[in-house]
Amino acid sequence: MRKPLLAGNWKMNKTPSEARRWFAEFLEANPVYAAGGEPAVEAAILPSFPLIPVAAEQLAGSAVRFGGQDVSAHEWGAFTGEVAAAQLADLGASYVIVGHSERRAYWNESDELVAAKAARAIEHGLTPILCVGEKLEVREAGRAVSFTLAQLEGSLSGLEIASGEELVIAYEPVWAIGTGKTASAADAEEMAAAIRNFIRERYGERAAANIRILYGGSMKPANTADIMAGPNVDGGLVGGASLEVESFSQMIAAV
């Protein structure tokens, strides 16, 4: 059985002190997570890099996972400003986002680079959360599924997927990110099913059965249960609504 995952992408928000407060309040409000173990819904927070040591310290012994919002495709070396997978892994990170649409749009990240980042993350025992999704004009032209699958194919090039547990895929329609517009539950399910089919054809039944597929884009407490109802939607990548302990906790309850 695939365990649902709710991952909070904080983007470039919060100071280390604000993060410390958030973690303390979250663990107080959600004692099941504070106790460690295996809650029914996996929760992860992806803060910006300077907050990662805070996450490591505050979340130690809890069931809340954490990770980065990006990672270098390079192992080590003269790459000013980059962060290595080995650095995140050494701090105890579990996840790292690769190919977020903001990075694709503002830093011109190509599918090829995204695939190289995912490979590097997996090499270091991190689980990449690989983001794909179409722009509004592509959806309006009726090409959302074919576009997203082609983007996924490019972003997986050269990657070896065995169990399907080494990777998470997030379907994030670009027009739904931070806009307050959400894909309908039916559209989210249609895309998640198409992605799972693609994984089945390419990597086999085991990978397809295990891989978790998230939806992202203006998810909030009020639409979580609806979006999660689709059998192929295994969770969410949550931006704005993860910044407040209350809304993120409500979403976990809704899952």
Least distance from C-beta 218 to ligand PGA, angstroms? 4
Contact (CB, 8 A) for 19 and 54: yes
Contact flags string 138-177 toward ligand PGA, x per CB under 6 A? ----------------------------------x----x
Cβ-proximal residue to ligand PGA, closest one: 239
Q: CA angle, 213 as apex, 62 and 178 as ends, to 5°?
A: 85
Query: Whose Cβ is closer to ligand PGA: residue 128's or residue 240's?
Result: 240
| Residue type at position 55 | A
CA distance 173 to 188: 9
Least distance from C-beta 239 to ligand PGA, angstroms? 2
Query: Whose Cβ is closer to ligand PGA: residue 161's or residue 177's?
Result: 177
Contact flags string 208-247 toward ligand PGA, x per CB under 6 A? --------xxxx-----------------xxxxx------
Query: Whose Cβ is closer to ligand PGA: residue 9's or residue 224's?
Result: 9
List of residues 6+ apart from 250 with CB closer than 8 A: 221, 224
Least distance from C-beta 36 to ligand PGA, angstroms? 27
CA distance 87 to 144: 36
For residue 214, which phi and psi values (nearest 5 degrees)?
A: -105, 160
62 in contact with ligand PGA (CB under 6 A): no
Binding to ligand PGA (CB under 6 A) within 173-202 occurs at 177-178
User: The tokens of 22 are what?
Assistant: 């958030």
Which residues form the catalytic set?
100, 172
Which position among 5, 6, 9, 191 is part of the footprint of ligand PGA (CB under 6 A)?
Answer: 9
Q: Is the dihedral of CA 30, 233, 106, 116 positive or negative?
A: positive
User: The tokens of 106 are what?
Assistant: 């503002």
CA distance 74 to 237: 25
Which residues contact ligand PGA (rule: CB under 6 A)? 9, 172, 177-178, 216-219, 237-241
